């Protein structure tokens, strides 16, 4: 758990991953905000959106957060298909299938990162959503074939448990 204070420490894996299947359980308190960053760069939003009738936005729980340009201006982002949020204080989970960006032999990116599927508390909220660049508050890393997972410590208490991963070939 990250604590009551805002902007606490991010948890960053020592191991780096390419294509990945990730399962993570989290508990978020009322009005808290965090995220799961694949490759430390592409965020699936954790946010207390319980009871929000919509329309849903990329900043709601289950959203793929907005990207940022070189001037730190936000653009894009993908809202979840449905509001799958449970009440604050209840354990929730993401099950994510992620495809890393692709690069040619010279290091030029040939294919964007892709969320092949995101399941939130048993409901599919995304399929085949690409992310052409890092999302806001990402680690200061370059896009690469492999990078670490980051669990964001941001904007109020959040706890994580039962984190499982499987590299995909």
| Extended strands (E) in the chain | 11-12, 20-28, 33-38, 42-47, 67-68, 74-75, 91-99, 102-103, 109-111, 113-120, 123-131, 150-151, 158-167
Could you read off the pLDDT of 144-165 as tens digits, one per residue? 999 999 999 877 888 999 999 9
Q: What is the pLDDT of residue 81?
A: 97
Q: What is the pLDDT of residue 3?
A: 52
Domain boundaries, given as residue ranges, for the chain: 11-167
CA dist 99 and 168 (Å) reads: 8
Percent of the chain with pLDDT over 70: 95
Percent of the chain with pLDDT over 90: 82
Region 11-167: CATH code: 2.60.120.560
The mean predicted confidence, pLDDT, of the chain is 93
């Amino acid at each position: 758990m990250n604590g009551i204070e805002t902007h606490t420490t991010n948890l960053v894996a020592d191991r780096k991953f390419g294509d990945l299947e990730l399962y993570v359980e989290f508990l978020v308190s009322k009005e808290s905000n965090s995220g799961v960053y694949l490759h430390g760069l592409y965020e699936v939003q954790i946010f207390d959106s319980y009871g929000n009738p919509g329309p849903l936005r990329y900043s709601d729980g289950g959203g793929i957060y907005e990207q940022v340009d070189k001037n730190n201006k936000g653009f894009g982002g993908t809202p979840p298909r449905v509001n799958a949020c449970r009440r604050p204080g209840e354990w929730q989970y993401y099950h994510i299938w992620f495809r890393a960006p692709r690069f040619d032999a010279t290091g030029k990116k040939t294919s964007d990162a892709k969320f092949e599927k995101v399941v939130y508390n048993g409901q599919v909220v995304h399929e085949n959503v690409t992310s052409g660049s890092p999302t806001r508050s990402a680690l200061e890393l370059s896009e690469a074939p492999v990078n670490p997972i980051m669990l964001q410590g941001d904007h109020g208490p959040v706890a994580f448990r039962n984190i499982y991963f499987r590299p995909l070939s």
